[in-house]
Structure 1
Amino acid sequence: MAEATITDVIFDFCGVLFDWQCRDAIEGVFPQDVVDRICSDDDECGFYRYEDRLDAGEDLDDVLADYRREFGDELAGIFRYYQEHYEDALPRLIPGMRQLLEDLHAAGLGVWGLTNWGWQTFPKAFAKFPEIEELLDGTIVSGIEKLHKPNADIYELAMSRFGLTPERSVFFDDTAKNIDGAHAVGMHAFRFTDAEQARKDLASLGVTL
């Protein structure tokens, strides 16, 4: 497998191409103690758990109704505000990633996106950073397809839709279970830390830029 020529590189979005910070969308708008609770690592207020449902393809109004029943009107209002101002949770591109995508294109490789993201907020990413949309040859969005990493079917969809072969493809994601999911369908995959390390990982497979 390691001897196959790499022809395509696939990237997750949040934590790989985009810096995603929930706190940036709500800090300064709502009381600091509430923001700290929402953004706690243990997901005390369920923001991340309920956002997973949006990533899986559910509609905001449906998810919000369940959220309100569990957490009440105040937090439900903040959750809606967060979703409606999602672009504020994307403060910047990850340093070095635009250049990496440009270099991959210049080297003749296919460059693709594969992300767990809700269908209603995903357009905000490309609206804020149109250069990334221009640099990607295509993107699979979980909330549109109603498929979800790390399940095999979303990787297989990317392979079939984009005309890729697993042994010639490399996937980068910042979440370990999503890397395991890519490996399970025969893809090369690396857990993303930064653009410099991604270049080293690609070089280990013979992709020199």
Structure 2
Amino acid sequence: MADSPITDVIFDFCGVLLDWDTRACLTGHFPDEVVARICAADDPHGFFRYEDRMDAGEDFASIYPDVVSEQGEDIAQIFRYYIDHYDDALPRTMPGMVELLADLKRHGYGVWGLTNWSHETFHVAFDKFPRLAELLDGTVVSGVEKMHKPNADIYELTLNRFNLNASQCVFFDDTAKNIVGANEVGIHGILFDNALQARESLSSLGVRL
């Protein structure tokens, strides 16, 4: 670590540390054609839009009436089921990522979490995958802070809370706009693809594992 300008690595959760799969939660419980519509890229039933509101700090109870009025009672009940069974949407950790966190820790790097996630469901991540809680030195959750990537305030909060120097941090996220947000506050943002790519990207920045 002494030879690396990087001292800390920050990770998004869903799509980086955890496999997030709405379809896995709903399949077998609702008709296949309904699940396919819900999970379509254009989000016709708004599941991901409503979830974004929860990630920004709104409570499920305040959002649910909008789901009923905009989507109808049947779809709203499926959304309620999804939130109530959120652990089923997190089938596994992303391959190789627990090992990467462990290697970083062993070599003296700080490892941190920064996620857009509801304060009501975030506990599921650590309940289901306690090794992540053991390895991460701390995590900032958007729904708790009522801040949201890619806005600068949540990155700055992370840096200040954990006493991090932006230029010495790397941030991995699977969403391009969140990488732009990190870069704008001086963090080395890298679009995540897989654990091997993450290791290669870290190596290019002088991180030695």
Paired residues of 1:11 and 1:172 also in contact (CA < 8 A): yes
- Which residue number corresponds to residue 60 of structure 2? 60
- Which residue number corresponds to residue 11 of structure 1? 11
SS of corresponding position for 1:49: helix
**Are 2:152 and 1:152 equivalent residues in the alignment?**
yes
Taking the aligned partners of 2:113 and 2:197, their CA distance within structure 1 comes to 19
- Which residue number corresponds to residue 37 of structure 1? 37
- Which residue number corresponds to residue 122 of structure 1? 122
State the one-letter code of the partner of 1:56: A
Taking the aligned partners of 2:45 and 2:33, their CA distance within structure 1 comes to 12
Alpha-carbon offset, residue 148 of structure 1: 0.1
SS of corresponding position for 1:14: coil
Paired residues of 2:6 and 2:168 also in contact (CA < 8 A): yes
Number of equivalent positions: 207
Map 1:124-143 onto structure 2 (within 5 A).
Answer: 124-143=124-143
For residues 106-141 of structure 1, the C-alpha deviation after alignment (integer angstroms, 9 at most, x for no partner) is: 110000000000010100111000000110000000
SS of corresponding position for 1:170: strand
State the one-letter code of the partner of 2:68: R
* Distance change in 2, residues 1:95/1:4 (3 Å): closer
Paired residues of 2:10 and 2:111 also in contact (CA < 8 A): yes
Alpha-carbon offset, residue 188 of structure 1: 0.5
- Which residue number corresponds to residue 198 of structure 2? 198
- Which residue number corresponds to residue 28 of structure 2? 28
Taking the aligned partners of 2:200 and 2:129, their CA distance within structure 1 comes to 26
Taking the aligned partners of 2:196 and 2:102, their CA distance within structure 1 comes to 14
Taking the aligned partners of 2:115 and 2:148, their CA distance within structure 1 comes to 8
Alpha-carbon offset, residue 51 of structure 1: 0.5
State the one-letter code of the partner of 1:191: L
For residues 163-208 of structure 1, the C-alpha deviation after alignment (integer angstroms, 9 at most, x for no partner) is: 0010000000000000000000001010000000000000111002
Taking the aligned partners of 1:108 and 1:144, their CA distance within structure 2 comes to 28
Taking the aligned partners of 2:76 and 2:149, their CA distance within structure 1 comes to 26
Taking the aligned partners of 2:164 and 2:79, their CA distance within structure 1 comes to 37
Paired residues of 2:4 and 2:207 also in contact (CA < 8 A): no
- Which residue number corresponds to residue 112 of structure 1? 112
SS of corresponding position for 2:28: coil
For residues 2-21 of structure 1, the C-alpha deviation after alignment (integer angstroms, 9 at most, x for no partner) is: x9711000000000000000
State the one-letter code of the partner of 1:11: F
Paired residues of 1:38 and 1:44 also in contact (CA < 8 A): yes
**Are 2:89 and 1:89 equivalent residues in the alignment?**
yes
Taking the aligned partners of 1:84 and 1:135, their CA distance within structure 2 comes to 27
Taking the aligned partners of 1:40 and 1:11, their CA distance within structure 2 comes to 26
TM-score (norm 2): 0.98
Taking the aligned partners of 1:29 and 1:4, their CA distance within structure 2 comes to 50
Structure 1 residues not aligned, in runs of 5+: none
Taking the aligned partners of 1:184 and 1:135, their CA distance within structure 2 comes to 27
Map 1:65-76 onto structure 2 (within 5 A).
Answer: 65-76=65-76
Taking the aligned partners of 2:64 and 2:165, their CA distance within structure 1 comes to 39
Alpha-carbon offset, residue 76 of structure 1: 0.4
Structure 2 residues not aligned, in runs of 5+: none
